[in-house]
Amino acid sequence: MKIALITENSQAAKNATIHSALTAVAEPLGHEVFNYGMYSAEDKASLTYVMNGLLTGILLNSGAADFVVTGCGTGMGSMLACNAMPGVFCGLIIDPTDAFLFAQINDGNAISMPYAKGFGWAAELNLQDVYRKLFEGESGLGYPKERAEIMARNRGILRDLKAVTCHDMLTVLKSVDQDLLKAAVAGERFQEYFFANAKDAAIADYIRTVV
């Protein structure tokens, strides 16, 4: 699985800590981690939580990533922005129990975490425990197990509902404020990672016209 990490500007100084915790858990499990930044508070390309959502939509809908780990000060802004995108199902994750239940019940493709609120002593251990609950086993098995079938059915209903209420990603890209789009894909390593991994030719071609 390709996992993308996106860090918002107010928490950019913590990117190295978050990336280290994520790779320590995900890579031994056979997953690839792509760090889309921000890498520091001094980066030329600055990502707001709104851009986090837009970038998440681009990565997941193009197939450049299978899962996105993002967040902001509280985690709420990035979660809302992510869930505004077609095909993105993002949970607000604070602790390992949240991560386990989100993986087993909701089986989403993105998480948003608070990197300011409650981010104190041993925060990196909480990050690693969260990532283990997300990535070490099969997701979508249900909890409790006897409700697995109805949970899977509800996930399907939600996907169908979102498909009706959202435009497809290519329409979003063409309709969104183009300056906002350019800023969201201006990261230092975006082109290197995105074009090597994107599977949707139409989305990739449109992004080429932007960058």
Contact between 11 and 115 under an 8 Å Cβ cutoff? The reply is yes
Tell me if residue 167 falls in helix, strand or coil. coil
Would you kindly state where each structural domain of the chain is located, as residue ranges? Answer: 2-210
* CA dihedral (166, 169, 170, 175) positive or negative: positive
Q: What is the pLDDT of residue 63?
A: 98
Q: Which CATH superfamily is domain 2-210 in?
A: Sugar-phosphate isomerase, RpiB/LacA/LacB (3.40.1400.10)
Spell 124-139 as b/e; 16+ CB within 10 A means b.
eebbbbbbbbbbeeeb
Per-run averaged pLDDT (10 residues), the chain, 211 residues: 98 97 98 98 96 98 98 98 98 98 98 96 96 96 95 97 96 97 97 98 98 94
Contact between 105 and 139 under an 8 Å Cβ cutoff? The reply is no
Contact between 86 and 172 under an 8 Å Cβ cutoff? The reply is yes
Q: What is the pLDDT of residue 111?
A: 98
Q: What is the pLDDT of residue 165?
A: 95
Q: What is the pLDDT of residue 161?
A: 97
CB atoms within 10 A of CB 49: 25
Contact between 64 and 192 under an 8 Å Cβ cutoff? The reply is no
Q: What is the pLDDT of residue 17?
A: 97
Q: What is the pLDDT of residue 193?
A: 98
Tokens of 5: 């990490």
Contact between 127 and 117 under an 8 Å Cβ cutoff? The reply is no
Report CA-CA distances (Å) from 184 to 15, 35, 59, 72, 96.
17, 14, 11, 15, 29
Chain position carrying tokens 């199902």: 89
CB atoms within 10 A of CB 106: 17
Give the closest residue to 53 by CA, choosing from 165, 160, 180: 180
* 19-76 pLDDT, tens digit each: 999 999 999 999 999 999 999 999 999 999 999 999 999 999 999 999 999 999 999 9
